[in-house]
Amino acid sequence: MDHRASSSIGELAAVAAGTWDRFWFTPTDARRLAIVRGLAGLLGLVLAWSWARDLVAWFGPDGIVSPEVLGVWRSPTALSLFDLARSSAALWGLFLLGVVVLGMLAVGALTPIAAPLAALFWASLLHRGPMLVGPADDVLAVILWCLVIGRSGDAFSVDRRLAATDAKGRAPSWRNGLSLALLRLHASVIAAAAVVAQLKADVWWNGTAAWWLAARESTRIDLTGVFAGSEIATNLVTHSIVLFEVAFAAGVWNRWTRGPVARVGIVGWPLVGLVAGEPMWGAAMAILAWACLPDDGAPR
């Protein structure tokens, strides 16, 4: 009896260990990760542009986000390379260097160097102005650190073009599997955390949240006419957002729902972003949705 119990516990442990190993460490082709890399690099460039015009006004020697402000705002463990830039020229130099690195990441040039530098640049930029940071910046930071782990330069990249066409460059790697697994984990966690946060408020239960999103002056698309004319439409959009986020957070873990949910996410997240006035966040989430696609969804 004891022997049977210990043997079944051993089997369970073996199953758990095997599942753990397969989820995190399965050697995977680089192509899907390479597309994530390219899209993340492009998104990084777009978001960097939104910092560029006010760079000196915010972070310059006489800028608004002064060291005194950072002193009371930032965690003591926060670090930023931009803290070293004491002049406008140094600030611009560092920023442009970061932009170049993001560009290199987008096209896959010197990817093993560009990926960590891009993540470092992005984290430094966000730490320099934490009160200016939006949800798209957060998601991009996560994506960039995940890209550091994988070998995303092995496909669709300048690196690949320049390298000799040996089999090694095409071989699946556990690093790609780990990187994609981390991206999928974060996609689910971010969607779940958003739902949990939203459902604390009445507006997401009574169905008027979509109205509050649309009625802001800053919104990108004006849906106020539609919503003002139909409370049912307002409720429908509100509940659809919640339902979509729940379905995405849970669906990426099931082998049968993963593909459909990820494909819907590639379209759905940008739509949610547009309605919510956070299109860049929607785009960042769509990149995560792409990373969740099963392998049969990758381009051949």
Partner 1 sequence: MARHHTADRDDRQRPPRGPLRTEDSAPTDPEEGTERGFAPAAGALPETLRGPASLLLALYLVGLGLCVAGNTASGTSLLLGTVKDRLFAPWMVPLWLDLGHDTRLTYGLPEDADHSLEIRPAGKGGGRTSAPLRFPAPGDHSERGSRWRRLAVAAVLAEEDAEQAGALPAAIGAGSFAAAGDDDLVIRVVRTMAPDYEAARSPGLSETALEVRVRRREGELQLIPIPPAEEVAPLFDPLPVSGGGN
Binder to partner 1 among 75, 165, 299, 300 (CB under 8 A)?
Answer: 75
Q: How many Å apart are CA 35 and CA 106, to the nearest integer? A: 9
The stretch among 1-9, 68-76, 86-94, 263-271 that binds partner 1 (CB under 8 A) is: 68-76
Q: Which is nearer to partner 1, 109 or 144 (CB)?
A: 144
Q: How many residues bind partner 1 (CB under 8 A)?
A: 105
Q: Which is nearer to partner 1, 158 or 174 (CB)?
A: 174
State yes or no: residue 267 binds partner 1 (CB under 8 A). no
The stretch among 10-18, 34-42, 93-101, 106-114 that binds partner 1 (CB under 8 A) is: 10-18
HSE toward the beta carbon, residue 184, CA cutoff 13 A = 25
What minimum distance in Å lies between the beta carbon of 294 and partner 1? Answer: 5
Q: Where are the alpha helices (DSSP H) in the chain?
A: 2-25, 31-52, 55-59, 67-73, 88-107, 111-128, 135-149, 158-162, 167-170, 174-198, 202-205, 209-214, 224-229, 231-251, 258-276, 279-292
Token digits for 144?
């960039």
Binder to partner 1 among 5, 167, 299, 300 (CB under 8 A)?
Answer: 167
What minimum distance in Å lies between the beta carbon of 145 and partner 1? Answer: 6
State yes or no: residue 83 binds partner 1 (CB under 8 A). no
Binder to partner 1 among 34, 36, 40, 65 (CB under 8 A)?
Answer: 65
State yes or no: residue 132 binds partner 1 (CB under 8 A). yes
Pattern 170-209, partner 1, x by CB under 8 A: xxxxx---x-----xxx--xx--xx-xxx-xxxx----xx
Token digits for 13?
């442990």
Position 126: which residue type? L
Pattern 95-124, partner 1, x by CB under 8 A: ------------------------x--xx-
Binder to partner 1 among 127, 223, 265, 291 (CB under 8 A)?
Answer: 127
Q: How many Å apart are CA 116 and CA 94, to the nearest integer? A: 15
Nearest to 252 by CA among 242, 263, 241: 263
Taking CB under 8 A as the criterion, which residues in 23-62 touch partner 1?
A: 23-28, 46-47, 49-51, 53-54, 57-58, 62
Q: How many Å apart are CA 171 and CA 50, to the nearest integer? A: 38
- CB-based contact 183:36 (threshold 8 Å): yes
Percent of the chain that is helix, strand, coil (3-state, to 5): 75, 0, 25
Taking CB under 8 A as the criterion, which residues in 224-263 touch partner 1?
A: 224, 227-228, 231, 234, 241, 252-256, 258
Indicate the SS3 state at residue 56.
helix
